[in-house]
A and B are shown apart, each in its own frame.
Chain A
Amino acid sequence: MSNTPLTPGIVSGRLVAEAYAHNFDDLEPVLDGHEAHVAADRCYFCHDAPCMTACPTSIDIPLFIRQIATGTPEAAAKTIWDQNILGGMCARVCPTEQLCEEVCVREVAEGKPVEIGRLQRFATDRVMAAGVHPFTRAAPTGKRVAVVGAGPAGLAAAHRLALHGHDVVMMDRREKPGGLNEYGIASYKAPHDFAQAEVEWLLKIGGITVQTGVELGRDVTLDGLRAEYDAVFLGIGLGGVNALRAAGEDIAGVRDAVDFIAELRQQPDKAKLAIGRDVVVIGGGMTAVDAAVQSRLLGAQNVTIVYRRGQEKMSASVHEQDHAQQVGVRIICNAAPVEVIGKGGKVSAVEFAYTQDGPEGLKLLDDTFTLAADQVFKAIGQTLVAPEGMAGPKLDVQPLARVWAGGDCAQGGEDLTVTAVAEGRDAAEAIHINLMGAVR
């Protein structure tokens, strides 16, 4: 190892091998049987439980926890998957501190919620490890549905459609299915190739054909799909990114955070990934936090998130922000970039102006400061790349006859994995009713 965290510029191999292995392993390992039992015992089995209402997929949380407590994690997993077929991934990536666990009566009363996410993982991991897929397809209906996008929304829709007996062709422009589960989520939340393992497990339902490397708008058209299939589901996520609109945005060393994360997720040997010494991340959401944290984990010496509004407005949860700060990320709020400064064709610093958030919107103040930077990540939001004939910012849930949309690309809900699953599932139910009449 010739490089260290102090080596200037964008270089790889800043850390020793063990450090990479440690940094990119499970942040929160799965509970063992005894821990799960103790954790499950804390649940009060609330009536009309607030946790269940807070879950975008409405998992029957008290029931699955009781099933764990009574020694049947297999039944618990089934309860979870009945509502959320990506319950395994959601157990890992859901911001539970903003969803189910935030409203758990024990969080409200004692500041210590029932560990719903970890219990969910305990149950689903166990059954997946046993290779069990506890769902069987209904008799074939002869109907064919195209699902565009194999992210959480597409996967949830495809599974539910296949379950009802429809034949599904799921296409994605990427090389691998999984969407942001595969290309976006922070590595330490779902290590050991969990995203692919989960997709493989999900496909065990049968009746789903996966076509990768197929892009809507390039290889197929919406009109073509509508002609060929009985229904179409669009779960194409947000394919574009917002521009910084600051001078110097194109200088080498400035990069989209989502691209960086996708590359990072696809590189099995993290020592091969080059990272700056002084990294500046611009943005305030989950993407900004993940880019910053993973920069630190790759050995960057100084990592700073700069967000243009107040900290309370950051869309990354407090839990995520805390985690970032624990790994040594500095968060600066109320500052916006005015210029990316280059030296020798490479970025060397970013100049920021402090901001004031008022009734008339955000105002740049004259007060400025400069941060040294050899790498800059833009994480200021993704945008919809709408299929031909449609327009954003988000698609309608049913934009055309026999066409449905769900997940990040569609209206409603927050841009979260679990919301995408809920919307994909619900669209599948709507399609099913549409194809079969009111029968269930």
Chain B
Amino acid sequence: MADLTTNFIGIKSPNPFWLASAPPTDKEYNVRRAFEAGWGGVVWKTLGSEGPPVVNVNGPRYGAVWGADRRLLGLNNIELITDRPLEVNLREIKSVKRDYKDRALIISLMVPCDEESWKDILKRIEDTEADGVELNFGCPHGMAERGMGSAVGQVPEYIEMVTRWVKQHSRMPCIVKLTPNISDIRKPAEAAKRGGADAVSLINTINSITSVNLDSFAPEPMIDGKGTHGGYCGPAVKPIALNMVAEIARSMETRGLPISGIGGVTTWRDAAEFMALGAGNVQVCTAAMTYGFKIVQEMISGLSQYMDEKGMVSTAELVGRAVPNVTDWQFLNLNAVSKAKIDQDACISCGRCYAACEDTSHQAISMSEDRVFEVMDDECVACNLCVNVCPVEGCITMEELPKGAVDARTGKKVGDYANWTTHPNNPSVAAAE
């Protein structure tokens, strides 16, 4: 079996699966059980300053989006940072870490935006023997109104400043957790790097309203007739998170900055995808909240099987493998021509490809009276919609034309690599001439 041991910014864990800072990591009871179930590390639920703890609402704090069969696809929450006394959390962290030396234990922090507060909390956590800190600049609700969380995370200058304080007042490795509620994720990542962060982790939750109650006309979850935006997470946010991870991994300014990938990781495959896009490890919240701690066993077995099949002996070989292949649209090869192909033996004649192509694409699929569906190469632009709507996996495939073959649609031969930057229709090419 492949070795899943990971070394993330000097923090070792037996596998790259960490629990994200959230309810699953809010107390010793949970964290011990998580470690017993096999999780490689946890980021403890965010701690605040000394003093009376935050209060949470006393009504529903979660909203959800479901797929068929009530599969949980997206979860949103209006929970705040830990509502348990700092003292208790610190004692528990110390006790857990003592018994699980081989696991990663990171403390997530969120305190007011002044140097004293940070200095103070760092001192308080010093003797827990935790492996590092994660700065929560991401929480989109409740804390932002108090000038914390995403209120800091949305201002790169603040991120840089706070990160610098943390590095000054502590020797612990420091991960900066980023909020996705920003237009360009590279900016806060660059700021974290400038401030001396050892890594970034992303994404925290996304501002969202999951549904509206059409009888009481208020957003869900609703408390005494009112609702507010919450943070969205779970499988639905994965594509957004993957893109943000990739942006940081391939940007010149942040290239090489270690990334802990978060957002919708539900199976080993999701984790592998994050890692291929540059994440050194992953953090999981919603999947554990949906299915319990045991899912990590599937993640472990699945990732090691995959790595074995690929002949990879360590996770380092997977991390970043896909980064060189993430590019900008303008560099895509406009001379790569594909055509959809329907495997008639696999086809179940549902006609979904036909409806999709005929009504909303390029009218490139024909339908015979006896329900045989065929692609017309002279109309097909290879958009992939038929592949995506077909209910039978592998039934419709995209076949790339070899170089020199004639594209039946354009009558032109398939040529060498050429992209938009040199395309005759590109006005900036014309201007340059």
Contacts and interface: CB of A to CB of B under 8 A. Distances in A.
A321 to B, nearest CB: 32
B69 A42 contact: yes
B403 to A, nearest CB: 33
A440 interface: no
B295 A66 contact: yes
B371 interface: no
A70 B305 contact: no
Contacts of B393: 33-34, 37
Contacts of B305: 72, 74-75
B31 to A, nearest CB: 18
Contact of B268 (A37, A70, A74): A70
A71 B269 contact: yes
Nearest to A68: B298
Contacts of A47: 292
A78 B301 contact: yes
Nearest to A79: B301
A62 B292 CA distance: 12
Interface in B268-289: 268-269
B367 interface: no
Nearest to A67: B298
A75 B392 contact: no
A37 B392 CA distance: 11
B291 interface: yes
A77 to B, nearest CB: 11
A40 to B, nearest CB: 12
Nearest to B302: A72
A45 interface: yes
**Looking at chain A's contact residues, is the secondary structure mostly helix, strand, loop, or mixed?**
helix
B297 interface: yes
B392 A34 contact: yes
A81 to B, nearest CB: 13
B269 A70 contact: yes
A63 interface: yes
A45 B295 contact: yes
Nearest to A45: B291
Contacts of B409: none
A41 B292 CA distance: 17
B267 interface: yes
Contacts of A66: 267, 295, 298
B294 interface: yes
Contacts of B269: 70-71
Interface in A234-280: none
Interface string A1-40: 0000000000000000000000000000000011001000
B297 A70 contact: no
A415 to B, nearest CB: 32
A92 B385 CA distance: 40
Contact of B301 (A34, A42, A75): A75
A336 B393 CA distance: 56
A47 B294 CA distance: 9
Contacts of A67: 298, 301-302
B268 A41 contact: no
A45 B298 CA distance: 11
Contacts of B392: 34
Contact of B298 (A34, A74, A75): A75
Contacts of A75: 298, 301-302, 305
Contacts of B291: 45
A115 to B, nearest CB: 15
Nearest to B301: A75
B301 A72 contact: yes
Interface string B294-313: 11011001100110000000
Interface string A44-77: 0101000000000000101100110111101100
B69 A41 contact: yes
Interface in B40-78: 69
Interface in A292-328: none
A70 B298 contact: yes
Interface in B149-186: none
Contacts of A42: 69
Nearest to B294: A63
A78 B298 CA distance: 11
Contacts of A45: 291-292, 294-295
Interface in A381-404: none
Contacts of B294: 45, 62-63
A148 B291 CA distance: 44
A71 to B, nearest CB: 7
Contacts of A70: 267-269, 298, 302
Contacts of B302: 67, 70-72, 75
Contacts of A41: 69
A47 B292 CA distance: 7
Contacts of A72: 268, 298, 301-302, 305-306
B92 to A, nearest CB: 24
Nearest to A75: B301
Interface string A137-152: 0000000000000000
A71 B394 CA distance: 14
B292 to A, nearest CB: 5
Contacts of B301: 67, 72, 75, 78-79
Nearest to A66: B298
Contacts of B306: 72
A106 to B, nearest CB: 10
A207 to B, nearest CB: 21
Which of B69, B294, B298 neighbours the largest number of chain A CB atoms within 10 Å of its CB? B298
Nearest to A63: B297
A67 B302 CA distance: 7
Nearest to B391: A34
B268 to A, nearest CB: 6
Contacts of A71: 269, 302
Contacts of A74: 305
A125 B355 CA distance: 38
B198 to A, nearest CB: 31
Interface in A64-114: 66-67, 69-72, 74-75, 78-79
Interface in B296-349: 297-298, 301-302, 305-306
A63 B69 CA distance: 19
A45 B294 CA distance: 9
Nearest to A48: B292
A34 B297 CA distance: 23
Which of A42, A62, A63, A66 neighbours the largest number of chain B CB atoms within 10 Å of its CB? A66
Interface in B356-406: 392-393
B151 to A, nearest CB: 37
Contacts of A63: 294, 297-298
B299 to A, nearest CB: 9
A62 to B, nearest CB: 8
Interface of A: 33-34, 37, 41-42, 45, 47, 60, 62-63, 66-67, 69-72, 74-75, 78-79
Given A63-B298, A70-B302, 19 more contacts: A34-B392, A34-B393, A37-B393, A41-B69, A42-B69, A45-B291, A60-B297, A62-B294, A66-B267, A66-B295, A69-B267, A70-B267, A72-B268, A72-B305, A72-B306, A75-B298, A75-B301, A75-B305, A78-B301
23 contacts: A34-B392, A34-B393, A41-B69, A45-B291, A45-B292, A47-B292, A62-B294, A63-B298, A66-B298, A67-B301, A67-B302, A69-B267, A70-B267, A70-B268, A70-B269, A70-B302, A71-B302, A72-B301, A72-B306, A74-B305, A75-B298, A75-B301, A75-B302
Interface of B: 69, 267-269, 291-292, 294-295, 297-298, 301-302, 305-306, 392-393
Which 6 pairs, one residue from A and one from B, show the smallest C-beta to C-beta distance? A75-B301, A70-B267, A72-B302, A66-B298, A45-B291, A72-B305
